[in-house]
Chains A and B, each alone.
Chain A
Amino acid sequence: MATVELKNLRKTYLTEEIIKGISLSIEDREFVVFVGPSGCGKSTLLRMIAGLEDITSGDLLIDGQRVNDVEPGKRGLAMVFQSYALYPHMDVYKNMEFGLKLAGMPEAERREKIEHVARTLQLEPYLHHKPGQLSGGQRQRVAIGRAIVRNPKVFLFDEPLSNLDAALRGQMRVELSALHRKLGATTIYVTHDQVEAMTMADKIVVLQKGVVEQIGSPLELYHHPRNLFVARFIGSPPMNFFPAIFQGGDTTGSAVQLRDGSTLYVPVTSPGLLPGTKVTVGIRPEHVELAASGPNSGVVEVIERLGAITLVHVRMPDGQIIVVQMDGAVLTDVDTRVSLTLPPGNCHLFAPDGVAFEACHRHPLAA
């Protein structure tokens, strides 16, 4: 149905460059999620695609056609805003009808489409309510309905669920995923919510300060983050990091020495790295194991019991806190001395400039 291609897109406000040359290919039917810290330019990039912001330089192609200078309404896109942005003076029916009317669709056809969409989104009882009379979740449904009726080539979402409470957000997330599967339309979705990104995306684009840090499937980013930024950003609680000294390596792995003198043989290649270089070892909280004694010992400072899992915060001798995720029934106590085991297969290694070393084996789910 529709592909979107970004070729070296740039955006400058006055003198400040906000989007610094982003290239990206979005396949037909793909669900792409833009994530990144606040202010990294996610919304700006989405609005450039929508046509609400001018493109300073670069090309934007929809279905192979350059659309840089095409009016927003003529690009065949529909957008759902964070603030819903419903027309407050029109009822639900008219909100959905507005775009169809402007497109010159005959009345009977409009009615049929709107009723069909209203049925899909369970909005039928509210068709003649004004937005002011609806709850947040219902308003969001109307905003989605307004996008769907137009049968767009591409859906754009800018943090559509962030104004909803946690329970509703979870429910809408599932509904949106189901809707995407049903409609099969190309979708670009902006969020800063990890869970939304991981669960909904076919492809995640991690942005920082207007540049792409990494593009990949959720599990690719999880198992093979390309640099420290992505490693820290994807995954919750975030990855732990240990300073280490590189000792040497070959095609099957690299040896590093940790602060306490213990060595670790991580299965990543480190071509051209000089022994003695300072590197960073990363490991996710869910991969660290606790032992009663051994190397890497520290003192348990905080225990967070979340029911199914337990998060153990361990203070290391150098003052750093390492988070370990255990199962819910673990019997550790505060102030006890524990030792951390780092399974080498789950460790990541980062060069001094923050770039990750290539793993010797790709994870089977992130091929």
Chain B
Amino acid sequence: MAVKTKTSTRIGVTILGWGIAVWLFFPIFWMFLTSFKNEIQAISTPPKLFFMPTLSSYAEVFERASYWHFTLNTVIVSVGATAIAIALAVPAAYSMAFLPSSRTRSTLLWMLSTRMLPPVGVLVPIYLLARNTHLLDTCTGLAIVDMLTNLPIIVWMLYTFFREVPAPILEAGRMDGASRWQEMTMVLLPLALPGIASTALLSLILCWNEAFWSLNLTSSHAAPLTAFIASFSSPEGLFFGKLSAASTLAVAPILVFGWISQKQLVRGLTFGAVK
């Protein structure tokens, strides 16, 4: 009886899980599908599930905008922002996790609370700051802003991962003569590597998809993929085929990268679990 209940709950949970997954994935699936339709098929009612696929939307997208230019900007900005953020967050999270003070908790909460502010609230000051420092429409400028917006989450995540590392292991390192720097790089980082990798992946995804600041702080030179998508929702009217093709092109690299590294991450996590 008890076992039966358990099985039925498990089936219920499985169905629910799949339901949510399908619900979340459907827009992406539809976008992918639409990108292979011509513009007529794309807006036909009722929507067509089966049709003759065509690459015409892709061809036009490539003709109208330089995809590689946008991709390169996105890669530079995401990787740069992530690298700087991790470099700054590791020492911060280290000191919070292993040398906590009575204010550590409130500092963490305060840092997270900055994420709750709508970005538009600081649009004007940030815009003026970027303009006056000549960072408008530069990858550097966008990377700095992306880095700063993600820093609280990254510090918070690293803090939770570092807290999992038993303090005596680091203390043993210190007794063995390691400096704070060596303790961090030779003992802590190898142990927390899976956590750091998943944090970096999250940061990459957040930067890759960041649209608000990209659209407001860049125009052409440093415009990333989100601006590339936006350029296809033009005032001439929506062309869903081309818009879908552009969106698919924009999200495909990070999706594929996430997929591959996820497998690596799982492997890394089990590798690290020695103790």
**A-to-B contact residues, CB < 8 Å:** 14, 50-52, 71-74, 77-79, 81-83, 85-89, 98-99, 102-103, 130-132, 146, 150
- Scan residues 151-189 of chain B and give those whose CB is less than 8 A from a CB of chain A: 166, 168-169, 171-179, 182, 186-187
Contact B168 A88 (CB under 8 A): no
Contact A88 B102 (CB under 8 A): no
Contact B175 A87 (CB under 8 A): no
- CB-based nearest B residue for A82: B168
- Cα A99 to Cα B173 with chains together (Å): 8
- Cα A86 to Cα B175 with chains together (Å): 12
Interface flags for B95-109 (1: CB within 8 Å of A; 0: not) read: 000000010000000
Cβ of B191 < 8 Å from any Cβ of A? yes
* B-chain residues with CB within 8 Å of residue A79 when the two chains form the complex: 171-172, 175
- Cα A82 to Cα B172 with chains together (Å): 11
Highest count of chain A CB atoms <10 Å: which of B173, B175, B178: B175
Task: Given A130-B274, A131-B274, decide whether A88 and B169 contact each other with a Cβ distance below 8 A.
Answer: yes
Per a CB cutoff under 8 Å, which of B175, B182, B187, B272 touches A78? B175
Contact A73 B174 (CB under 8 A): yes
For residue B187, give the distance in angstroms from its CB to the closest CB of chain A: 6
Contact A132 B275 (CB under 8 A): yes
- Cα A364 to Cα B86 with chains together (Å): 67
- Cα A21 to Cα B190 with chains together (Å): 40
Per a CB cutoff under 8 Å, which of A85, A102, A150 touches B178? A102
* B-chain residues with CB within 8 Å of residue A87 when the two chains form the complex: 169, 172-173, 187
Contact B177 A85 (CB under 8 A): no
Task: Given A85-B168, A89-B191, decide whether A73 and B272 contact each other with a Cβ distance below 8 A.
Answer: no
Instruction: Provide the main secondary structure of the chain B interface.
Output: helix
* B-chain residues with CB within 8 Å of residue A146 when the two chains form the complex: 172, 176
Contact B272 A89 (CB under 8 A): yes
Contact A99 B176 (CB under 8 A): yes
* A-chain residues with CB within 8 Å of residue B174 when the two chains form the complex: 51-52, 71-73
For residue A366, give the distance in angstroms from its CB to the closest CB of chain B: 35
A-B pairs under 8 A by CB, number: 71
Highest count of chain B CB atoms <10 Å: which of A79, A131, A150: A79
- Cα A102 to Cα B186 with chains together (Å): 11
Contact A88 B191 (CB under 8 A): yes
* B-chain residues with CB within 8 Å of residue A77 when the two chains form the complex: 175
Contact B272 A99 (CB under 8 A): no
Known: A73-B174, A86-B169. 19 other contacts (CB 8 A): A14-B102, A51-B175, A52-B171, A52-B174, A71-B179, A72-B175, A73-B177, A81-B171, A85-B172, A86-B275, A87-B169, A88-B169, A88-B191, A88-B272, A89-B191, A98-B178, A98-B186, A99-B177, A102-B176
* A-chain residues with CB within 8 Å of residue B272 when the two chains form the complex: 88-89
* B-chain residues with CB within 8 Å of residue A89 when the two chains form the complex: 190-191, 272, 274
6 closest Cβ pairs, A-B complex: A73-B177, A99-B176, A88-B274, A85-B168, A132-B274, A85-B172
Contact B175 A74 (CB under 8 A): no
- Cα A103 to Cα B176 with chains together (Å): 9
- Cα A180 to Cα B190 with chains together (Å): 34
- CB-based nearest A residue for B182: A102
For residue A4, give the distance in angstroms from its CB to the closest CB of chain B: 16
Task: Given A14-B102, A83-B166, A87-B169, decide whether A50 and B175 contact each other with a Cβ distance below 8 A.
Answer: yes
- CB-based nearest A residue for B168: A85
* A-chain residues with CB within 8 Å of residue B190 when the two chains form the complex: 89
Contact B175 A131 (CB under 8 A): no
Contact A74 B166 (CB under 8 A): no
- Cα A315 to Cα B152 with chains together (Å): 65
* A-chain residues with CB within 8 Å of residue B172 when the two chains form the complex: 79, 81, 85-87, 146
* B-chain residues with CB within 8 Å of residue A51 when the two chains form the complex: 174-175
28 of the cross-chain contacts (CB-CB < 8 Å) are: A50-B175, A52-B175, A71-B179, A72-B171, A72-B175, A73-B177, A78-B175, A79-B172, A81-B172, A82-B168, A85-B168, A85-B171, A85-B172, A86-B169, A86-B172, A87-B187, A88-B272, A88-B274, A89-B272, A98-B173, A98-B176, A98-B178, A99-B176, A102-B176, A102-B178, A130-B274, A131-B274, A132-B275
